[in-house]
């Protein structure tokens, strides 16, 4: 790993720390969902509203392939 990569990782970590400080309930929400709700058939819906009032909405229904991906992420955290 070179110096630029280390610097970028430090910037990302700093940004994540600020995000957690600004939105303390969001990481707790993600932790609860990842422990309890990410199963095949679960529907994840995301709504975004801009300051101007423009709305975006989408959803995904989790499939077996998705669960394999999430399991890979979980194993990387150990």
Is the entire prediction scored with pTM above 0.85? no
- Mind listing the pLDDT tens digit for each residue in 48-77? 999 999 999 999 999 999 988 888 877 776
Residue at token pair 């280390």: 6
The string of pLDDT tens digits covering residues 13-47 is: 999 999 999 999 998 998 898 888 889 999 999 99
Give the residue ranges of DSSP H helices in the chain: 3-22, 25-36, 64-77
Residue boundaries of the structural domains of the chain: 1-37, 40-77
Residue (of 70, 6, 5, 11) closest to 36 by Cα position: 70
């Amino acid at each position: 790993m070179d110096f630029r990569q280390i610097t970028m990782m430090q910037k990302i970590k700093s940004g994540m720390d600020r995000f957690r400080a600004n939105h303390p309930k969001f990481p707790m929400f993600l932790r609860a969902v990842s422990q309890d709700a990410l199963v095949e058939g679960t529907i994840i819906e995301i709504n975004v509203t801009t300051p101007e009032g423009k709305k975006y909405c989408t959803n995904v229904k989790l499939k077996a392939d998705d669960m394999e991906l999430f399991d890979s992420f979980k194993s990387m955290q150990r």
